[in-house]
Amino acid sequence: MLLAVQGLDPVRFALHRPRETYRHLLARAEALLVDWGLADRCQQMTGRLSYGEQRQVELILALAGAPKVLLLDEPTAGLSPAETASVTEMIRRFSRDTTILLIEHDMDVALDLVDRVAVLFQGRVLAEGSKDKIRSDPEVAAIYLGTDDDA
């Protein structure tokens, strides 16, 4: 996390400098971990975290630079239902301050998080509008949810 927040500092990060030199960066990294509920894991190697926790760390790293716009490509892919709920809540929280372009095939997750939807099919925009409009669109339902004839 320290390496992620060091990009916010105008002073170049150097490994040969004493750790105390970067006290403010350490504080920022710790604050991010505390804010997102991973402070108790800060001493663990990321590879030893659960897959869901690794995805959370990835999101925290993306947020460390305080982006104005963030592209998320299937942030809940491969997660358990509990991990999906946790990551979805993280995305909901940081979407208050960051514009998010979300690519997500889990329609429940996608429609839970978005204000506006564009549905793409075979390289073209199939439908766009509010999530209620998309939910009720028969063409979207036929393509993404199937029809009775498909059963």
pLDDT in tens, 64-76: 778 899 999 999 9
Give 15's pLDDT tier (boundaries 50, 70, 90). Answer: low
Whole-number pLDDT of residue 52: 87
Q: Which residue has the higher pLDDT, 7 or 114?
A: 114
Whether pLDDT at 151 is above 60: no
Phi/psi for 98 (5° steps) reads -135, 135
What average pLDDT does the structure give for the chain? Answer: 82
CA atoms within 13 A on the CB side of 50: 12
Token pair, residue 17, equals: 């400098």
State the pTM of this model: 0.72
Residue ranges per structural domain of the chain: 2-114
What is the homologous superfamily of the domain 2-114 according to CATH?
A: P-loop containing nucleotide triphosphate hydrolases (3.40.50.300)
